[in-house]
Chain A
Amino acid sequence: MNNEKVKDQTSKSKRNRKLLLLILLMLLIISQVIALQGNGAFLNKSVDPDSVNKHSITLDDLKAVNDDLNEVRESLNDINSNFELTDDHVEVEKVEAKKEEVKEVEVKNLESKPAVVPVVPVVKKPAPVVVIKDKENIKPKQNISENKKVELIEKSPLAVIPVPVSSDDETIPSVEKTADEVNIVVETKPAYIKHDTNGKSLEDNNEHGTCVQDTKNGLMWEVKSEDDTMRNSNNLYSWFNPDTKTLKGITDGGRCKGDADCDTHAYVEAMNKQNYCGHNDWSLPTREQMQTLVNFAGSDIKTTINNKYFPRTMPSWYWTSTENRDRDKFAWYVLFRNGVELNDLKERPKHVRLVRVVMAEQSNR
């Protein structure tokens, strides 16, 4: 009676195992079909375009995968055929894991453009490991009873798991587009822009500019002349400012051609009165403004200024409006022989070059 019961249980166990193995085999096939078709996505996954050409597959690779599947099937069949329960003991079978790596394959002639290739990841096949384990110590000739526990434990799934090389390069980009054309724009400006007597800008090669505008800072400068007017390059003027709170300097203390008195204040007044270069806001430059004209790379080795735009510049001293804070009889000047700033008594005559500050919007013209 007891033997019949055991046989009945053994028979049921065998049926269950056969059913299980059949299901496993079907699942294996299904998983392979899904992985190879590559069109059953569930989630959005990012695609690294750099993965192009790295994991393409060839017919040989597909054959290799197929061979691997056959091996798995054979292993399962072996398990099924070798496993038997006897009255005496429970036989333990263990199928060693087969560790096999499928080669990475590169298709070299896809170098230049992204190709549409089916998604076939590099396959690492975790081998099926089925262990039939007896939880109790089994003694020879011991009868199997109900409390004899026999179970199947899966150590790794019986599926062929595609293992991507990295998390980001699973598929291959299939779309390539050319974006809109980018224009590159740049404009080379002259260091200074020449203007005529009315303030109208001139071509850079025009020799008749009467004033120039610095393209870097917008300052507009007087250009000295050769004629017998107060703009003559040889004219000398004494420093005078009726609005200063310190020593005002001296009027008409220089030597100059033209109608104006030979001092800086009279010169500025006369130039604004005649609307020189189309403007009436000319002034004596500050020390800092005058220093912007100093150019040691000037073409004339005698003067430290750009002679192309400031012809007839004397290698001499030019007044600024900046007074010496410590000595009220002194004001600063720039020596264009070497670009040095110095100060001198206001009464001593020097050259003058006027400046005006151009508004920002005007300087961009």
Chain B
Amino acid sequence: MMMKYIHFYKFIVTIFCVIIAQTIYAVPPDCPATLTANLTQDLDFGDYVGTNGGTITIDTAGVRTETGGVLLVGGAVSAATYVFSNSDSRCLNRWIRISAIPNSITISGPVSMTVNNFITSAAADGDKFKISTTDTVTIGADLITNNAQNQGPYTGNFTIDFNY
């Protein structure tokens, strides 16, 4: 008779454990819309001398390389840098997806140039990352230069979206 009650209570405890576990596992908490992404660095290809058409690449580490008829001559060089800030513990480890990354944009100056092949430092995970309290995401790209590119400053801009 005693064994019946022991097994009965074991059974009840097991059921409760399963219910609690499935509730914890299946239902994440709400994350308030308090995550922020502040731009701390623009995407800067620096200065170059163009003899023929070529490409300047800024990788996500901010390192500049060139191919074709391009000579790199200095100037400030940087990848675009966003700092994501999270002050709410409910958002910890929340996946942040970066979206709306442009495929190609045109920047203006004496004549136009094309910037494409945008890449984020979170590209390995499908342009998403798990937020902690402060996380940095950098964005690099390719600059396509033309033959006899007129000298002068060239500028353009783009935005990204992020959701969580």
Decide if B151 touches A188 in the complex (CB within 8 Å).
yes
- Which residues on the A side are within 8 Å of B80 (C-beta)? 182
New contact pairs (19) apart from A35-B27, A179-B82, CB-CB < 8 Å: A20-B11, A35-B23, A35-B26, A38-B27, A42-B23, A42-B27, A43-B24, A44-B91, A157-B15, A158-B15, A159-B18, A162-B26, A177-B161, A181-B159, A184-B141, A186-B143, A187-B48, A187-B153, A188-B49
Decide if A180 touches B159 in the complex (CB within 8 Å).
yes
- Sample of 8 A–B contacts (CB below 8 Å): A47-B94, A47-B164, A184-B45, A185-B43, A186-B154, A188-B145, A191-B71, A216-B71
Decide if A188 touches B150 in the complex (CB within 8 Å).
yes
Q: Does A65 contact B (CB under 8 A)?
A: no
- Which residues on the B side are within 8 Å of A173 (C-beta)? 95, 97, 163-164
Q: Does B61 contact A (CB under 8 A)?
A: no
- Which residues on the B side are within 8 Å of A30 (C-beta)? 19
The chain B residue sitting closest to A295, CB to CB, is B51
Nearest-neighbour CB distance to chain B for A126, whole angstroms, equals 10
Identify which of B29, B82, B158 contacts A184 (C-beta below 8 A): B158
Identify which of B22, B44, B95 contacts A168 (C-beta below 8 A): B95
> How far, in angstroms, from A215 to B75 measured CA to CA in the complex?
11
Nearest-neighbour CB distance to chain B for A129, whole angstroms, equals 13
- Which residues on the A side are within 8 Å of B156 (C-beta)? 183-184
Interface size class of A (residues with CB under 8 A): 35 or more
A50-B128, A175-B33, A177-B162 known; A45 vs B28 contact (CB < 8 Å): yes
A168-B95, A191-B49 known; A40 vs B4 contact (CB < 8 Å): no
Decide if A159 touches B22 in the complex (CB within 8 Å).
yes
Nearest-neighbour CB distance to chain B for A57, whole angstroms, equals 13
Total residues of chain B contacting the partner, CB 8 A? 85
Identify which of A31, A157, A181, A297 contacts B51 (C-beta below 8 A): A297
The chain A residue sitting closest to B41, CB to CB, is A182
A47-B95, A47-B164, A162-B26 known; A187 vs B33 contact (CB < 8 Å): no
- Which residues on the B side are within 8 Å of A27 (C-beta)? 15-16, 19
Q: Does A69 contact B (CB under 8 A)?
A: no
> How far, in angstroms, from A90 to B51 measured CA to CA in the complex?
96
- Residues 100-135 of chain B, each 1 if its beta carbon lies under 8 Å from chain A, else 0: 100001010110010100000000001010100000
> How far, in angstroms, from A171 to B27 measured CA to CA in the complex?
7
Decide if B27 touches A183 in the complex (CB within 8 Å).
no
Identify which of B24, B89, B94, B109 contacts A46 (C-beta below 8 A): B94
Nearest-neighbour CB distance to chain B for A30, whole angstroms, equals 7
Decide if A180 touches B39 in the complex (CB within 8 Å).
yes
Identify which of B12, B23, B56, B97 contacts A23 (C-beta below 8 A): B12
- List which B72-108 residues lie within 8 A (CB) of chain A: 73-75, 80, 82, 89-97, 99-100, 105, 107
Decide if B93 touches A181 in the complex (CB within 8 Å).
no
Count of CB-CB pairs between chains A and B under 8 Å: 243
Decide if A46 touches B159 in the complex (CB within 8 Å).
no
- Which residues on the B side are within 8 Å of A191 (C-beta)? 49, 51, 71
Decide if A189 touches B49 in the complex (CB within 8 Å).
yes
Decide if A149 touches B39 in the complex (CB within 8 Å).
no
Decide if B26 touches A186 in the complex (CB within 8 Å).
no
- Residues of B participating in the A interface, judged by any CB pair closer than 8 Å: 1, 3-4, 7-8, 11-12, 14-16, 18-20, 22-31, 33, 35, 37-39, 42-51, 56, 71, 73-75, 80, 82, 89-97, 99-100, 105, 107, 109-110, 113, 115, 126, 128, 130, 139, 141, 143, 145, 149-164
- Which residues on the A side are within 8 Å of B82 (C-beta)? 179-180
Decide if A48 touches B95 in the complex (CB within 8 Å).
yes
- Which residues on the A side are within 8 Å of B95 (C-beta)? 46-50, 168, 173
Identify which of A39, A149, A176 contacts B163 (C-beta below 8 A): A176
Identify which of B1, B71, B99 contacts A9 (C-beta below 8 A): B1
Q: Does A13 contact B (CB under 8 A)?
A: yes
Decide if A119 touches B27 in the complex (CB within 8 Å).
yes
A46-B95, A49-B128, A188-B145 known; A179 vs B161 contact (CB < 8 Å): yes
A45-B29, A178-B161 known; A189 vs B45 contact (CB < 8 Å): no
Query: Among the interface residues A20, A154, A157, A364, which one has the most CB atoms of the partner chain B within 10 A?
Result: A157
Decide if B26 touches A164 in the complex (CB within 8 Å).
yes
Decide if B18 touches A157 in the complex (CB within 8 Å).
yes
> How far, in angstroms, from A20 to B5 measured CA to CA in the complex?
11
> How far, in angstroms, from A39 to B24 measured CA to CA in the complex?
10
Q: Does A24 contact B (CB under 8 A)?
A: yes
> How far, in angstroms, from A39 to B30 measured CA to CA in the complex?
8
> How far, in angstroms, from A31 to B20 measured CA to CA in the complex?
9
Decide if B29 touches A41 in the complex (CB within 8 Å).
yes
